[in-house]
Structure 1
Amino acid sequence: MSATPDDARARVEQLIILTDRLTGLVAEQAKCFEARRPQDALAFGEEVSRLANLYRHESARVRGAPALVAAAPRELRLRLVRSTEAFDAVLARQARAVGAAKTVTEGLVRAIAEEVASQRHKGVSYGANGVQSPAGAAVAITLNKRA
C-alpha cells in the first residue's frame, strides 16, 4: 500500500500540524500545573483528549504502514521527527509537573487528616469487663472532589 508523493507530503504535513498543536496544548497544561493552578488545566482537557486520540490513531496507522509517509520529502519527514521529539519532551515536562502536584496534594490531605484526628475529642469507652478500651486511630474524612 504505497502512497503517492503528494499524498505522503499531505499526510506528513497534517501530522506535523497535529503534533505541534498537541504539543502546545500539553505545554499550556504543564504551565498550569507548574503554577500550582491545576484547575486551569481543565480548560484544555477536552481538546487535548480529542487531539491525543487522533494522534494515537494516526501514529499507529503510520507505524503499521510506513509507506504512507515514505514518499514525502526527507526534510519534511525530519520536521515530523523534530515535532515528535518536542512532543515527547513536553509530555515528560507535564509528567513531572503532574507528579509534583500529586505529591503536594497527597501531603496536604495527609496533614489535614492528621490534624483532624489530633483535635477530635477522644472519648473513653468501656468494654464488656468494665475495662477502658484503647482509643482507636481510625478517622473518617470526606473530601469534595470539586474543591
Structure 2
Amino acid sequence: MNVTAEDAAERVEQLILLTDRLTSLVAGQAKAFEDRRPHEAATYVEETQRLANMYRHESARIRANPSLVDSAPRDQRLRLIRATEAFDAVLARQSRAVNAAKTVTEGLVRAIAEEVASQRQKGVSYGANGIQSPNAAAIAITLNKRA
C-alpha cells in the first residue's frame, strides 16, 4: 500500500487527509468505549486497520527517506505535523478508554466466576473412619483470557 503522489506537496496533502481520516475513526472508537458501547467501536475496524497499515507504511518510507516530503511547502508540512500531533492525542485517548473497558470487563468476569464458585455445592467425601468430611472438592472454572 502506497500513497500515490507526483511530488512532495501532493504526498504531504495525501498524508494529511489520511491522518485526518484515521484521527476521526479512532476518535469515534474512543468515544464508543467511553460511552460504554464497545460494539459501536467495531463498526469501522476494517477501514481503520487498512488506513493504519497505509499510515504505518508511509511513515516508515518517509523516515527512511525524508526527501519524499522535504520539498513540500513549509506551511503544508506544518499542517501535517499538527495532524500527526492530533492523531497521537486521539491514540492516547483511545488507549485510556480501551484499558478502562478492559479493566471493567475483567472485574465483571472475576465477580461472576467468584459468584458461580460460591453458589456451587461443596463436595462431601468420606474419611478413614467412615465419617463425612466437609472438605470441598476442587472445581475448575475456565476463563478466556483473550476476551
Q: Are 2:32 and 2:40, in contact at CA under 8 Å, matched by a contact in 1?
A: yes
Provide the residue aligned with 2:27 in structure 1.
27
Matched residue of 1:122: which SS?
A: coil
Distance verdict in 2 for CA 1:129–1:48, change over 3 Å:
farther
Gaps of 5+ in 1: 1-5
Paired residue type of 2:75: E
TM, length-normalised to structure 1:
0.87
* Residues 59-96 of structure 1: CA deviation (Å, up to 9, x unaligned): 10000000000000000000000000000000000000
**1:14-93 counterparts in 2 under 5 A?**
14-93=14-93
Q: Secondary structure at the match of 2:50?
A: helix
Q: Distance in 1 between matches of 2:47 and 2:127?
A: 59
Change (3 A) 1:12 1:124: same
Distance verdict in 2 for CA 1:88–1:133, change over 3 Å: same
Deviation >2 Å, runs of 4+: 126-134, 136-139
* In 1, Cα distance between equivalents of 2:46 and 2:89: 21
CA contact (8 A) 2:122 2:137 kept: no
Which one has more relative contact order, counting CA pairs under 8 Å at least 6 apart?
Answer: 1
Shift of 1:141: 4.4
Q: CA RMSD in A?
A: 2.1
TM-score by length of 2: 0.87
Distance in 2 (alpha carbons) for counterparts of 1:72 and 1:128: 87
Q: Distance in 2 between matches of 1:65 and 1:12?
A: 14
User: How far 1:134 moved relative to its partner?
Assistant: 2.5
8 Å contact kept, 1:18–1:51: yes
Q: Distance in 1 between matches of 2:130 and 2:62?
A: 75
Give the aligned partner of residue 3 of structure 1: none
Amino acid at match of 1:60: A
Between Structure 1 and Structure 2, how many residues are aligned?
Answer: 140
Q: Distance in 2 between matches of 1:47 and 1:106?
A: 28
Cα offset for 1:125? 1.8
1:27 and 1:138 map into 2 onto residues whose CA distance is 43
Contact 1:33–1:101 (Cα < 8 Å) also in 2: yes
Alignment-derived partner of residue 135 in structure 2 = 134
What is the Cα deviation at residue 123 of structure 1? 2.1
**Structure 2 counterpart of 1:139, which letter?**
A
Conserved in 1, the CA contact under 8 Å of 2:32 and 2:41?
yes
